[in-house]
Amino acid sequence: MASSNSTQIANSQHLTRQIFRNFERQRSMAKPAVLRTVAVEGRRVGRRTDAEYGRERKYLTPTEVELLIATAKKRGRYGQRDALAILMCYRHGLRVSELVALRCAQIAWEGTPRLTVQRRKGSISGIAQTLDRDEVRWLRQIQREQPAGTTYIFQGERGAVQPRGLDN
């Protein structure tokens, strides 16, 4: 009985190696992807346009954003935080790197609450943007839930979230 099990294991390992070798051989023979668009005999060859994929626009409508926010609230351990992140990206036009780099000190609470964003990629920084009531309410709730002395607004379980290549 033990020898039949070891034979089956050896056969499955041999089969796995054979499949892997075949996969590697096919992958090495595959043609590289065409990354630029070229006209051949009056027909475009290469990347397809958004219209060819059936995409007519490159933005989300307010209804789609509301649906995203509602879904984020219901899912995961940090639904409220995720919903706020989506909302702030949408309303303030934030990149992900700008979002995760937001610090509590960038919010001016006195008078009309305002957010000052340090922009990336050469955009104009330092323009204060007003925060709506729902954003203020969610931000205060997140601040109450975070440990005292927290620097960043959006934190993961292990502290501040920093994407690669972000130099602060």
pLDDT, position 165 = 44
pLDDT, position 47 = 72
pLDDT of residue 65 exceeding 80, the answer is yes
Query: pLDDT tier at 30 (50, 70, 90 boundaries)?
Result: low
pTM higher than 0.85 for the full model?
no
The two three-digit tokens of residue 94, written as one number: 């934030």
pLDDT of residue 19 exceeding 90, the answer is no
pLDDT, position 28 = 59
DSSP letter string, the chain: -HHHHHHHHHHHHHHHHHHHHHHHHHHHHSPPPP-S-EEETTEEESSPPHHHHT---SS--HHHHHHHHHHHHHSSTTHHHHHHHHHHHHHHT--HHHHHT-BGGGEE-SSS-EEE---STTPPP--EEEPPHHHHHHHHHHHHHSPTT--BSSEETTEE---TT---
Residues 62-159: name the CATH superfamily.
Intergrase catalytic core (1.10.443.10)
pLDDT, position 5 = 62
* 82-141 pLDDT per residue, tens: 899 999 999 998 988 888 888 888 999 998 999 988 888 877 778 888 999 999 999 999
Burial of 23 (0-12, 13-18, 19+ CB in 10 A): exposed
